[in-house]
């Protein structure tokens, strides 16, 4: 499948939604019966940074009109903090430690603030991607 602007933006907004929902993270990451690897810290980060093809920054997507300068200005501080985040003891699979980490909680809070600003400028369809309540138990495997 070719990555179109519309598909990329949906994935981008879905990923921001997942990474800014501490409630979803607690439910999905701490559910020991969950066997779907998508619903983990590692995959949330991978979906955002790897699947969306972020090398260093947003420049490619801004230059090609996939992200506006205004959207970037809203999200850039959160993106930079997220990119620099290291899980406690560098254990990306220790979800309890990540969810208790004040640095992670601050990144999520900054992301929530950015998300609320993005919602103000998105079209109705994109607002839905960014604000939909995600029930990881109702969704098919994403991986």
| pLDDT band at 143; cut points 50, 70, 90 | very low
Per-residue pLDDT of 88-142, as tens digits, reads 999 999 999 999 999 999 999 999 999 999 999 999 999 999 999 988 877 655 5
Residue numbers of the domain that contains 83: 5-131
pLDDT, one tens digit per residue, over 67-87 is 999 999 999 999 999 999 999
Can you give the pLDDT at residue 35?
85
Enumerate residues 6+ apart whose C-beta is below 8 A from 102: none
pLDDT at 62 over 90: yes
* Structural domains of the chain, count: 1
- Would residue 142 count as lying in a domain? no
Supply the pLDDT for residue 56: 59
Distance CA 76, CA 37 (A): 27
């Amino acid at each position: 499948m070719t990555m179109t602007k519309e598909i990329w933006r949906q994935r981008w907004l879905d990923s921001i939604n997942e990474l800014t929902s501490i409630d979803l993270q607690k439910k999905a990451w701490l559910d020991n019966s969950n066997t779907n690897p998508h619903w983990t810290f590692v995959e949330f980060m991978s979906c955002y940074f790897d699947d969306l093809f972020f090398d260093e920054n947003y420049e490619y997507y801004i230059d090609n009109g996939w992200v506006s300068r205004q959207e970037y200005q809203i999200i850039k501080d959160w993106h930079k903090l997220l990119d620099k985040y290291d899980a406690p003891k560098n254990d990306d699979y220790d979800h309890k430690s990540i969810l208790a980490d004040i640095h992670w909680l601050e990144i999520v809070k900054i992301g929530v603030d950015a998300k609320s600003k993005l919602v103000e400028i998105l079209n109705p369809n994109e607002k839905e991607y960014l604000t939909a309540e995600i029930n990881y138990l109702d969704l098919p495997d994403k991986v």
